Amino acid sequence: MVKFCTALLLIIAFYIIVKKKLDIRFTFLVFGIIFFLISKHPDYLLITFFNVKFLLLSVIAIMASFGFAEILKVEKYSIETVHLFANAIGEVKNTHRFMIIFVSMFATWIASLSLLSANAACSIVAPIFLPILMRFGINAKFAAVPLISGAWGAILNPGDVNAGIIRNTLKQYYNLNRIDIIEYNLLPAIVAIFCIVILLYFMYRKKIKKNEAGNLEHKPLSKFTLRATISFLPFFLLLIWALLPNEINDRFKVNYIVIASLLSGSFIAVLFAHYVSKINLVRHFCRGTWKGFIEVALLIITSKIFIEGFKFSFGENSISKWIIGLEHYQIPIAVIITFVFTILTGSGDAIVTSVIQVFIPSIGKSLAPMASCMVWFAGEIGRCASPVSAATITMSKIAGTDPNSIAKKAIIVVAIGLIGALITLLLIN
């Protein structure tokens, strides 16, 4: 009876989330508490709540990334980057226009890698590249697709919360650190980018008006324009740290480096403030960190309570038996569940962490690393095709269009990229 009620409540919870009847974080929290209550182990709710402390550094990193993104947006770093871009490429010829589409996609990818947030990446990159793409005659709905299709760069950031979840889940099998996991993802990510670029080329080669001028306004470089390079400071600091010998970089936790990078970038951006006063920039930074906590960190915390409550209520042994009963279909079903539920809920991290913690312990030891990375790719890339994700909604507001129309056009692109990554993971395993 308890299992039946738990399964029914699970269906109701996701119906509420998909139909947007209640906020997803509130839904996760309420149903998680209900699961704990009907499991006859309400005391485990407090234990689970206090156990989320291991997410503290990841939460701080997410909040810092949102604060940093807010500074870049308010201080017009995006506008200055357009001027840098214009001076770098000069006149845009017809033969070079697809390169702008590729650069816009890759810019979002790099931004999401650096900032650990698809939403923060889109809020920075979209104001730069959407106007450029639309000046080439591309409809706003299509112009947003290359940008949103690249918002999964965090798959190669060792500070991402999923890297920590995977490491903690696999530590019973392997002595893996987060850098090992990122190296495992490198080749599949390159293949996914290549697949997305090829598909974008065939999608857009007939959509760019060949008779458009495509000239960008030139402005002389100045000390204020050069500030735009500060937006990539976290990425370069992480890159330098990752290249250090293992005996050096293993002494520090990745999240410490991510937080230090973001705070350093924020401090320098405030120090060289030009358009907004330093005090106001600090206020915007605080506003951004609060937004990061509400939109992302709180979602991760409540999803943890939700999945732990479900596991206690339904029974971990029952879940394990069901997964083991799937036999050879364990990994495909885990990937499909992650991809579909990420699109439906708009939360990559919440679904990925849940699926990994439920499925991976029951999957064979030799397949666990590959399966974990497959699930991670499905969540990161799948979120780019979700009409209810924060990144898609941010993109739709900037483009002045409907998020559903962007998601419908992006789903084929991201699905092809995901398939390319999954095939690569199968081949290298």
Kindly report, residue by residue over 125-138, the tens digit of the pLDDT. Answer: 887 788 777 766 67
In this predicted structure, the answer to whether residue 252 has a pLDDT above a threshold of 80 is no
Nearest one of 284, 283, 293 to 69, comparing CA atoms? 284
Helix (H/G/I), strand (E/B), else coil: 110:
helix
pLDDT in tens, 172-221: 777 777 778 888 899 999 999 999 988 988 887 765 554 443 444 545 55
Please tell me the distance from the alpha carbon of residue 38 to that of residue 309, in angstroms, as a whole number: 9
The pLDDT of 6-25, averaged and rounded, is 81
Nearest one of 127, 66, 19 to 296, comparing CA atoms? 66
How many C-beta atoms surround the C-beta of residue 279 within 10 A? 10
Polymer length of the chain: 429
- Which of 105-119, 159-173, 231-245, 309-323 is predicted with the least confidence, judged by mean pLDDT? 231-245
Give CA 337 to chain center in angstroms: 18
Contact present, 334 and 371 (Cβ < 8 Å): yes
Given this model, what pLDDT does residue 222 score?
55
Rg of the chain (C-alpha set): 22
288's CB contacts (< 8 A; 6+ apart) are 63, 66, 67, 68, 69, 70, 71
Please tell me the distance from the alpha carbon of residue 359 to that of residue 378, in angstroms, as a whole number: 14
| Residue ranges of domains in the chain | 2-428
Please tell me the distance from the alpha carbon of residue 235 to that of residue 256, in angstroms, as a whole number: 14
Helix (H/G/I), strand (E/B), else coil: 365:
helix
pLDDT in tens, 331-361: 898 899 899 888 887 777 778 877 887 788 7
Nearest one of 302, 373, 390, 380 to 342, comparing CA atoms? 380
**Better-scored residue on pLDDT, 256 or 109:** 109
Please tell me the distance from the alpha carbon of residue 213 to that of residue 160, in angstroms, as a whole number: 41
